[in-house]
């Protein structure tokens, strides 16, 4: 698989994971008791936790794959401040 394809898949996966975490977090926060859409709060909490763990693993991988671009952006910001 080409590096750009890996980056595209990883970026898309990170977006989906973030949206899931935001949505499940909101359900856990606002749905204080009982079941949420037929899913127990304990199960939803467990899934939310493990998806967050996956995010913690994938974000550093994403940053490493995009390190060259990140360095270029930092240099660009530094040059603008000097002008």
Tell me, what's the pLDDT at 53?
A: 96
Nearest CA to 62 out of 2, 3, 18, 7 is that of: 7
What is the C-alpha to C-alpha distance for residues 74 and 64, in angstroms, rounded to an integer? Answer: 15
User: Residues 13-52: pLDDT tens digits?
Assistant: 999 999 999 999 988 888 777 777 788 888 889 999 999 9
Domain count, the chain: 1
- Domain containing 76 equals 3-82
24 CB neighbour count, 10 Å cutoff:
19
């Amino acid at each position: 698989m080409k590096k750009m394809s890996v980056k595209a898949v990883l970026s898309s996966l990170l977006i989906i994971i973030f949206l899931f975490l935001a949505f499940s977090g909101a359900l856990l926060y606002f749905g204080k008791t009982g079941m949420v859409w037929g899913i127990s709060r304990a199960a939803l909490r467990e899934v939310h936790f493990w998806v967050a763990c996956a995010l913690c693993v994938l974000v550093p991988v994403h940053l490493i794959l995009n390190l060259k671009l990140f360095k270029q952006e930092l240099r660009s910001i530094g040059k603008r401040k000097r002008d």
